Structure 1
Amino acid sequence: MHDRIVGQYEDNAAAWDQQRGRDLFEKAWLDRFLALLPPAPRVLDIGCGMGEPIAAYLIERGAKVTGVDSSPSLIALCRERFPEQRWVVEDMRALRLGERFDGLLAWHSFFHLSPEDQAPMFPRFATHAAPGAALMFTSGWGRGEAIGRWQGEPLYHGSLDSDEYAALLTANGFAVLDHRLRDPECGEATIWLAQA
């Protein structure tokens, strides 16, 4: 079922663009992320969707964004809205850009991978992280899989447990700065903030 995610967002790109809230309840965490970065940082937004509201907020604050998403239609919207930034159609599991970034963000995207596909992402994060880079991502709150519904189809989410994430971060050169389990002030998101 997790292999359907790529096609699901592509098939429903217009619906996602309409439904995705722009109210930026994530602002406090994005500000913490940005505070760790140098001026005019280079940020890799992994699973960027159509670029709103997350990438838009980063751009407004001076970041040079490279956005990656598996949906060509969502990336087309990014290119239309933010033509001065770089937008790449790519499955995050195959990410190999050959460059390093000051910040890496995988907000409400990484958790669509199966637990088995999530662990190999951490070396990919490390490969794309400049010295001192910040990494922020959202996860589930316990090991396993959860199936929601969206656009009349099952919507897959997977997660490792907190100890596994902490170990993977440490093994790949990231120090955990904060980990919030189901943050009530951020839509119940489970958030990890780390730094290389």
Structure 2
Amino acid sequence: MRPEDVLPTYDRVARGYDASRNRTLFERRWLDRMLNFAPGRRVLDLGCGSGRPIATYLADRRCRITGVDGAPSMIALFRQNVPGAKAVRADMRGLDLEERFDAILTWDSFFHLSPGDQRAMFPVFAAHAGPRAVLMITTGHVAAEPIGRVEGEPVYHASLAPQDYADLMSAHGFEVLDYRPQDPACAGHTVWLARARPVQG
């Protein structure tokens, strides 16, 4: 199982994944915190998947969502499930939408990239961050490259060391607001919440 196998795997299992995805919205507290810190409601959802339940929750809160996913079947489901959102079929790596957002979210998607590709995403985050934009990502809690499963199929994951993420955020203009490794209140997810530093005049 390699990083380049991730998108074809999600493309194959998209409908089953959408049907079985946990919709209890255990992510709600973090999503609400993201919106509370964000200066507006323009949200970039990277690795948006089928849009349920996260993008639909954000849409209910009057967010203007741009969903990006590289799996054709996933972005087709996103268009169906979140009809008011903008849907972009694209790989998040090297993304350049020529647009800036109030919040950038990559929930359970960024960690499917290789360590090198994860490092290369931080300039992408910075390029799409508007003034005082919020960035929220989920990662692993230790440096590792485990293989998980989605709809019975193996799928690649990777994580850098926490200090590496903190250093990358700082180097690309983000200040960490909160970091919770294996948050027990969020189904064990490791969550980073950061904000773009003000531009020095």
Q: Please tell me the TM-score bracket, short chain as reference.
A: over 0.9
Deviations 1:127-183 (A, max 9, x none): 000010000000001112011223343211100001100000000000000000100
What secondary structure is seen at the aligned counterpart in 2 of 1:79?
helix
CA 1:81–1:148: 2 relative to 1, 3 Å: closer
Which ranges in structure 1 are unaligned for 5 or more consecutive residues?
none
Query: For residues 76 and 153 of structure 2, what CA distance do their matches in structure 1 show?
Result: 24
Following the alignment from structure 1 to structure 2, what is the Cα–Cα distance between the partners of residues 173 and 139?
A: 19
> 2:11 & 2:147 partners in 1: Cα distance?
19
One-letter code of the match for 1:146? P
Match of 2:22 in 1: 21
Alignment size in residue pairs: 195
Partner secondary structure for residue 160 of structure 1: coil
SS of 2:105's equivalent in the other structure is strand
Residue 55 of structure 2 contacts residue 82 of structure 2 at CA under 8 Å; is this kept in 1? no
SS of 2:10's partner is helix
Check whether the contact 1:144–1:159 (CA below 8 A) recurs between aligned residues. yes
Q: TM-score, normalised by structure 1?
A: 0.97
Specify whether residues 149 and 84 from structure 1 end up closer, same or farther in structure 2 by C-alpha distance, changes over 3 A only: closer
Partner of 2:37: 36
Paired residue for 2:199? none
Amino acid at match of 1:169: M
Amino acid at match of 1:126: A
Q: Matches of 1:150 and 1:110 in 2, distance apart?
A: 15
* Aligned-partner residue type, residue 72 of structure 1: P
CA distance in 1, matches of 2:44, 2:151: 28
TM-score normalised to structure 2 length: 0.94
Contact 2:39 2:133 in 1 (8 A): no
Structure 1 match to 2:55:
55
How many Å separate the matches in 1 of 2:17 and 2:77?
11
Q: Distance in 2 between matches of 1:54 and 1:150?
A: 18
Counterpart code for 1:45: D
The aligned residue for residue 108 of structure 1 is: 108
Runs (5+) with no aligned partner, structure 2: 197-201
Secondary structure of the 1:93 match is coil
Q: What is the aligned-residue identity percentage?
A: 52
Which range is displaced more, 99-108 or 29-38?
29-38
| Partner residue in 2 for 1:11 | 12
Shift of 1:6: 0.5
Q: Please state if 1:125 is matched with 2:130.
A: no
SS of 1:10's equivalent in the other structure is: helix
> In 1, distance between residues paired with 2:82 and 2:191?
27
- What corresponds to 2:192 in structure 1? 192
Quick check: 2:27–2:186 contact (8 Å CA) kept in 1?
yes
Deviations 1:18-45 (A, max 9, x none): 1111110000101100001235x10000
Deviation above 4 Å: which 4+ runs of structure 1?
none
Q: CA RMSD in A?
A: 1.0
